[in-house]
Amino acid sequence: MSSSDRFERPIGRSPTTYAPPPAPVGARFSVCQEITVLWGDIDALGHVNNTRYFGWLEETRLAYLRLIGLDLSTGAPQKPVLASTSLDFLRPVFWPDTVRVEGKTTRLGRTSLTMDYRVTSTSQQAVVATGSAVVVLLAPSTNRPAPIPDVIREAIRRLDPDARDTL
């Protein structure tokens, strides 16, 4: 079922739900960040603005990149950049609340990897968004894709052994 289909038929579980809650059976994530929803994250529609979710994903992505030992400082030999990202918004998020953002690598290539994310609202006790992102490592001197170093690759394998290999 595509994300657009989801909205093409009546859904009636709850007045505060605009999509059926997904069933995250068997989901296992390797990194998790707790993030406070700020009042300023709320937009004119009264719920958290979509742009803020991408900041939450980024926070969890950076935590993951630190966890696998990637050097994030300015002079590092590789620079991780975002090649693409997407999100399905399942339920609105309100203030005050905290969200739990989980992530894991689901694909590991030669110079890039794909991460999947799940955002859960503490006050709603429900998954509010799911998404993914493709990260590519660049060599700062050339801005061309650079191979993921072996030590980093092994750290990813240990954390996320189920990641699909596209080397």
Burial (CB count <10 Å: 0-12, 13-18, 19+), residue 56: buried
- Regarding 46 and contact with a copy of itself (CB under 8 A), the answer is yes
User: Quick one: which segment of 24-32, 117-125, 132-140, 154-162 binds a copy of itself (CB under 8 A)?
Assistant: 132-140
When asked if residue 17 is in the footprint of a copy of itself (CB under 8 A), the reply is yes
Task: Decide: is 105 part of the binding site for a copy of itself (CB under 8 A).
Answer: no
Q: Which of 1, 10, 23, 28 binds a copy of itself (CB under 8 A)?
A: 10
Q: Check residue 36 for interaction with a copy of itself (CB under 8 A).
A: yes
**Which residues here bind a copy of itself, judged by CB under 8 A?**
3-4, 6-8, 10-12, 15-19, 33-36, 38-40, 42-46, 49-52, 54-56, 58-59, 62-63, 74, 79, 81-89, 92, 95-96, 107, 109-112, 114, 134, 136, 138, 142-145, 166
